[in-house]
Structure 1
């Protein structure tokens, strides 16, 4: 990805913003939950120090990761962003996690929609991909609701502990994104 600037993005209910070390407590609140960590690459946070290290690593990495907060509350309820970028294919890969207390309210869809819009209008990208473990129906629904199309199964693509999982691949291209805007 280009430079590391994380702009603040807003919707009717959410603010997406850069993470700071002050967010570690809010992140720990959900990152220590086994249900939240079940389908992500990181293990549940055991201490607040794990969450502090998470924020530090994100801010030092090439990832563009936003904290998700409600407009009326500065507490971070999740994260979403672009975890990889291939400059040759101009493809971004998305990732997200949300505090279980806020599941099924449409916040992840709202955040992901903002990121897709931001990427296609501001970054040098023509494709955004996301994967989810085959059993992660909630994540699948989020990507489908953001007009990402199912493209296939990636066999033995995700390892969590000693378990190996197949994943579903979803993507949206800039061409299809623009075509959907005209509808």
Structure 2
């Protein structure tokens, strides 16, 4: 398991979300490292961490994280987690409550609100094999930047992130609430 680490003091573990890596936390770590020991791993199957031969699951992520913390001799920590990372942090706290001093959970993956439902619909459309959106976006990429709406640039960047991620699967997105269900 790959990780970023900086600072000394009480330990904060930063867990990234789906379609991200531990790098999403680097600006925060930079700010907190003068006062805290900050550790941000890439969850299995993301970033620099390899996938397991076993099917990826929250339980497998928890065991891998526990092995890492044991190897680093971290006995107690606080978790700051986003998206998918919230479920890993929660499960870790349930399995090892004596090691967890606190949880800061942001946007747990799978909790569906109207805002999340709209985002998932867009991401489902972006990951469809025959979606015309990537073709339209790439065709307009040749336009001068002043003619491109910011929303279009944002959607194109999201498309690129989705297709670089192991979790960018229409099956996962559909199961997570991006389907056409009402």
TM-score normalized by the length of structure 2: 0.25
Give 1 or 2: higher strand fraction: 1
TM-score normalized by the length of structure 1: 0.25
Q: Report 1 or 2 for greater relative contact order, CA contacts < 8 Å, sequence distance ≥ 6.
A: 2
Give 1 or 2: higher helix fraction: 2
